[in-house]
Amino acid sequence: MGMNVQETMSSPLVWHPQTAAEAWILKQNFGIESVYISGGTLLRTHWESGVAAMPQHLIDLSAIRGLNDCKIGEQDLLIGGQMSLQACRTNLFLQRHFPMVTEAIRTIAAPSIRQIATIGGNVASNIGDSIPALLVYDAEVSWYDGSAELQTPLSEWLLHANDSSRENERLLLSLQLPFKKSEDDSIHDSDEEKDSNAKMKRFSAYHKVGRREAFTPSVVTAAIKGSLTKSGVLKEIRIALGGGQTIPQRIEQLEKEIIEAAVDARLLQHVYDRILQLYEPREDIFASAAYRKTTAANLIVTELWKAAKV
């Protein structure tokens, strides 16, 4: 009964820090010989496909206290980064007030994987399919930088996604989704002004296009959220696009151009043309950048048209 020496030698050491500070110190000590791991579902695919080698030290974040559930605060919903995608998907508050997040999660992987995969891992991967939905709700990220817990808009967090020198600094702890509590104690996401509700038509949609109907990696993800006056003028608009290896982004320049405009055929053409110009998806062997741009433009234009039509 000989021991498989090679396997023993190549097995990593798994650390279970109890606090963000402990996790941080481990990462500082082991540097590139280590990796933070939450559910490990994405990391495993990297190791198995040879995209990355398994490092010697795995810093398992699942034991860090207080990151496993959702808390409804005064002005935001706090989602612990260690919450599983399944727990997020079945959370009633998220379903009711942030339905695009629930919808995005529904499209990720399969139920068995969603039990293990975390929302924190999805966001920390910088390309997770939940990100466009989170972006249009103005999500913020809480993270630990070695001395304090900082809060940053998710859109800003993503700007540093490719900055490898900051790798050690980014220990994601939780996400915040802002909302406003109105006097009757009902809750709206933060742009929703109670008194303008009656006059305003609100719309939102999340789409994921893959290479097949279900259980598929994304080619394009698109989230849109806005409000229209009765006469069809856009009073609020957020558009976020991602998919595949593209780091999702808000198309803020376009948002600025169309706010206060009436949704008509000319505006729809403008939106279409500008998405082709402004959105810069990464291409891979499965789909060209041109295909991704066109798909994204079609999805967004269709949703705007639907919102203005009914």
Ligand X SMILES: Cc1cc2nc3c(=O)[nH]c(=O)nc-3n(C[C@H](O)[C@H](O)[C@H](O)COP(=O)(O)OP(=O)(O)OC[C@H]3O[C@@H](n4cnc5c(N)ncnc54)[C@H](O)[C@@H]3O)c2cc1C
Q: What is the nearest approach in angstroms of ligand X to the Cβ of residue 1?
A: 33
By DSSP bridging, strand 76-80 and strand 171-181 are antiparallel
Q: How far is the CB of 286 from ligand X (least distance, A)?
A: 13
CB 20, min distance to ligand X, A: 9
Which lies closer to ligand X via its Cβ, residue 125 or residue 227? 125
The answer to whether residues 120 and 67 touch, using CB atoms and an 8 Å cutoff, is yes
Residues in contact with ligand X by the rule CB under 6 A: 35-43, 45, 61, 81, 85, 108-109, 113, 117-118, 120-122, 124-125, 128-129, 170-172, 217
**Closest to ligand X by CB, 227 or 249:** 249
C-alpha distance from residue 94 to each of 155, 187, 225, 267 (Å): 20, 12, 16, 32
CA distance 127 to 248: 6
Distance (Å, whole) CA 302 – CA 272: 10
* Smallest gap from residue 252 Cβ to ligand X (A): 23
Residue nearer to ligand X on the CB measure, 216 or 277: 216
- Looking at the DSSP bridge assignments, the partners of residue 151 are 142
Q: Which is nearer to ligand X, 5 or 51 (CB)?
A: 51
Smallest distance, Å, CB 246 to ligand X? Answer: 12
The Cα–Cα gap between 75 and 71 comes to 11
Smallest separation, CB 122 to ligand X (Å): 3
Residue 131 to residue 218: CA distance in whole angstroms: 12
* Alpha-carbon span 111 to 107, nearest angstrom: 10
C-beta of 85 vs 304, nearer to ligand X: 85
Residue 118 vs 227, nearer CB to ligand X: 118
DSSP state of 84: B
CA distance 48 to 309: 48
